[in-house]
Structure 1
Amino acid sequence: MSILLPLYIYPYAGAWDPLYAAAQAHWNVDFTVILNPCSGPCMGSLPDQVYLNEIPKLRAYPNIRSLGYVATHYTDKPIETVLAEIDIYSRWPKLTNNTKMRVDGIFLDETPSTYSADKFGYLERASQAVRNGASFKDRFVAHNPGMIPASILNSPSVYRESYLNLTDLTVVFEETFDKWLDKDTLDPLQAHTIRRSKLAVILHSVPNLSRQVLDFVVEQVEETADWLFLTDIKETDEYYHSFTEMFTDVVASVDGSSRKRRS
């Protein structure tokens, strides 16, 4: 399993240290972090100097991949704006004269969950911009629709009824822990036949769990997806703006699950 981390945390001194410590302590765990300095790449300027100092440090860890955040507003944002934001991320190394100031791909947030040909064309153009971006090391494309309806997720023709063939990773569920536990939610999410390596689950508002229960939750998520993020933060719009003590335990549980699977 791997960690998908929305790193929407301002990198003041020491703020990203929990990530660095986890990446160093758990070399078997891959981290894909989403950078979001200005609700996007900071159009018309570079991120401030604090970001410029911190982002290159991610390159010291071979198990950390970084993605630039771009919202599509469910394809209501003009595609030219989306392409311009992708282009800015691709030009960070040149603009800063620093090859370490780069991202490995793009995380497209607020993508549609139901299919239409027009929306497919829109997202295809965005994906092609990432695939053609020479400075994107992995040319990695992620989508976050928040949730894919069970009727699509479990359809025999899911790849024709969704945008999964445009992505390396899709968040199929981003919601509260309580909603994850709902039978009508959990059963369809665990019944699909899509490759789990293409899917992620993000859960917030997680209650205080013992390590044993947390291990079980991670194993349950693994029935749906190979990527996850869990946080106990419950405040709307604050879910991804700080590390909690839970982060260390989640990484340890993911590492343990990965070791079990390999043994």
Structure 2
Amino acid sequence: MDHYEVVERALLHIEDHLDQPLSLDDVANALNLSKYYFHRLFSAMMGCSLNTYILSRRLNASLILIHEGRTSLTDIAYRLSFGTPSSFTRAFSRQYGIAPSLLRTRHPGLAPIPVPAIVRRPIKNINGDVVADFTLTEFEAIRLSGIVFEVDLAGDYETTIRSHSRMLLQELDPSVQGPCYVVYSNCQPDSTRFNVLCGIPQELRIEKPFYFTVDVPRFFCAKFTYSGDLLEIGDVLKTDYARFLKISRQETDDSHIELVQRFNDIHDLGSAYHIFAPIKKLPIDSDGE
């Protein structure tokens, strides 16, 4: 059983026992694992502690019961192991920004979400802590041709990136093979707006607005490998990257490039891909050059 299966089984076990006491010992024992290993693995894969995840799923389950309207809030609190109705109300208000008693009238469209999918990526153990596997490497300078646009992470950036990626693919001959790059750059302090380039390392002759050829410079970086949807790793990467910086004691580089994604197949943006995050080159990383 690999680490994906471990966490997937844990998520299903939790979902089936939300109305019962659930501690780290309970879940680890159900999987026949050391609680210390399971705790590190779960935190690395899910980006939060087990207790935080269980609380969020209990609150998620409460949405169903509230909308059904057949169970009182007091009974929901006890049924989902919140201890007291006031504890349930406080936790619900923190999670959703509204008291549970007002849900049906103020936010009738607030719906429960399914058990989250696990983003697949290799992991490694560093001094007893589990982190997403990474390689310290150089991103080699490259010239990319493609479409440039702006996204706002505070808005519907997923739709923007998908639509512009399709625009580029529509201009490519099916015979064109090779990788595709998505480059995020020039995010200003306290801003959620990024410039994005979706392009390929081949010369394109497209006489339309927003199509450019850009030289991406060489930079030192941490390289991560993921598989799955183009955009569904955003929150996961943030937690992976934060853990990587903390545990490896690296620092982000002061670069106009925020992030680079490289997909192995230009025609399949659901394929495995690499993420390159600029970091400062420490003296130890320069040895041997």
Greater C-alpha radius of gyration: 2
Whether TM-score is above 0.5 comes out as no
TM-score scaled to structure 2, two decimals?
0.25
TM-score scaled to structure 1, two decimals?
0.27
- Structure showing the higher strand proportion among its residues: 2
